[in-house]
Amino acid sequence: MNNTFLVTGGIMFGVVLVLLLVITLLAGHSSKKRRTKREHLSSSLQGEKLKSDIILSSIEDGVILIDTQGIIQLFNPGAEHITGWTAKEAVGLDYRLVIKLVDDKGVEYTEQHSPFVKALGQKTVVRDNDATLVSRSNKRVALNISISPLFDNQKNVTGAVGIFRDVSQERSEERQRAEFISTASHEMRTPVAAIEGYLALATNDKVCKIDSKARGYLEKAHASTQHLGQLFQDLLTSAKAEDGRLSSHPQVVELGQFLEQLTDDLRFAAQKKGLGMEFVMGSSGQTIDASASNAKLVKPFYYVYADPDRIREVITNLFDNAVKYTDSGTVSIGLTGNDDVVQFYIRDTGAGIPPEDISHLFQKFYRVDNSATRTVGGTGLGLFISRKIIELYDGRIWVESEVGKGSTFFVNLPRLDAQKAQTMQAQATAQASPLASATPIVKP
Ligand code: ADP
């Protein structure tokens, strides 16, 4: 976490520095009016430029300046060191030849994923903390990158400045930490499960005779042990999610039926807290009370290709939060979609989330610091794990919330068209039968 702050801080400093340099250079062109003033200005600007040059050549971060055509205009020694290209070679070349980026699986960034293209197109600062650079000698270098577009007086984009830092050491340490957490929580889960089992036996009337005071203590111990077990499980899952070892057995899932069933399973937990619970199908907000006998409506099929256990994990997690952070009202689980996307959401009428916390919510261990979270237990891992799972299926998860009114957590997943989904289901069934044909299952 600290490393990320340091790196981001360093990159921000670099951005400010380069912007200062560019402003200084631009300012240099407009100072030609009075001679005496000019001489004074020119010497002070030279002094400023010299300072900027000194800083640019002494910082460790790579700094690259490109024009709108993507041609490199400036390449500092930090960039030379990280990429293996010299400034002499790089300046004048297309940046794509020099800054070759790949993702964590080694797949080269497409044009649309390039942070340079995004910064120039979207006219905003674009950061990428997961990129890997392929250096001139084919070495892989983990990078944090920040690209800022540059503007002229008419607010036209004139180029972009990129600041990047080698974070190979930080990423490798992060991996080691994740590995340690994963091994430790795996090892600790076993004895905790044994303690939980014995406590359950001790409080079982049919197995043990104990007085009511002892029962009270043991029940508390049992609840805490269950919490500890959940914590180890969450730690293990988040460590696996981080290094890409999260197991997933995707199959065709029809989310309409899946969610209706799950809503019924979860209903009890909401009712126990005195909350209403509903399943809402379709963008019209049409409510289906699953317990009503006339709930037969013509519904579209919302197919996705994902591991149903993982999707259940996400929904249960969002639902548990909705119940945890809501004192009165209703929790709704909804489903809608268009031709390309299936969207489900979990809406509550609870405490809501302050706007300044929203962008951090899906980070590891992040909990909003307020009375609700102080009184309600939690690890701050649930939303992080949920995001990792949804990203596994090329989906997106986000929240919209208003303090005092409630929150809605949305999930978008790519939609599988019905015909393809049914063909895949039929193939999977045929494969599972003993007389399975040798036809491979088509993947979306
Ligand atoms: P936790 O175990 O703390 O619930 P999560 O990762 O699931 O961890 O959630 C992170 C934080 O997001 C919570 O601590 C809480 O502050 C906030 N949060 C999550 N869901 C809700 C919700 N439905 N309403 C209000 N706050 C929420």
| pLDDT, one tens digit for every residue, the chain (444 residues) | 444 444 455 555 555 555 555 544 444 444 455 556 666 666 776 777 788 888 888 899 999 999 999 999 999 999 999 999 999 999 999 999 999 999 877 889 998 889 999 999 999 999 998 899 999 999 999 999 999 999 999 999 999 999 999 999 998 988 888 888 888 888 988 899 999 999 999 999 898 899 999 999 999 999 999 889 988 888 889 888 887 788 899 999 999 999 999 999 999 999 999 999 999 987 644 444 444 444 445 678 999 999 999 999 999 999 999 999 999 999 999 999 999 999 999 999 999 999 999 999 999 889 898 776 677 778 889 999 999 999 999 999 999 999 999 999 999 999 999 899 989 888 888 887 765 544 444 555
Say how far apart CA 185 and CA 173 lie, in whole Å.
Answer: 18
Residue owning the nearest CA to atom 19 of ligand 1 = 321
Return the amino acid letter for 236: L
378 lines ligand 1 (CB under 6 A): yes
pLDDT at 292: 43
The CATH T-level fold of domain 58-166 is: Beta-Lactamase (3.30.450)
Cβ–ligand 1 distance for 325 under 6 Å, the answer yes
CB 411 less than 6 A from any atom of ligand 1: no
Query: Measuring from atom 2 of ligand 1, which residue has the nearest CA?
Result: 378
- Neighbouring CB atoms inside 10 A of 138's CB total 8
> Which of 237, 313, 321, 407 is the best mutation target for the ligand 1 pocket, counting ligand atoms within 8 Å of the beta carbon and taking the most?
321
Closest residue by Cα to atom 8, ligand 1, is 380
Question: Angle of helix 212-242 relative to helix 168-202, nearest 10 degrees?
Answer: 160
Pocket of ligand 1 contains residue 235 by CB under 6 Å:
no
| CB contact at 8 A, 373 and 367 | yes
The rounded Å distance from CA 140 to ligand 1 centre is 37
Can you give the pLDDT at residue 153? 92
Q: Which CATH class is domain 251-424?
A: alpha beta
Tell me what pLDDT residue 111 has. 87
Q: Ligand 1: distance of its center to the CA of 353 in Å?
A: 9
Ligand 1 centroid to Cα of residue 380, in Å, is 7
Task: Judge whether 335 and 256 are in contact, CB under 8 Å.
Answer: yes
Q: Identify the residue whose C-alpha is closest to ligand 1 atom 18.
A: 321
328 CA distance to ligand 1 centroid (A)? 17
pLDDT at 370: 76
382 lines ligand 1 (CB under 6 A): yes
User: The pTM is what?
Assistant: 0.67
Residue 342 · residue 255 · CB < 8 Å: yes
Our answer on whether the CB atom of 383 is closer than 6 Å to any ligand 1 atom is yes
Name the residue with the closest Cα to ligand 1, atom 11: 367
Cα 433 to middle of ligand 1, angstroms: 43
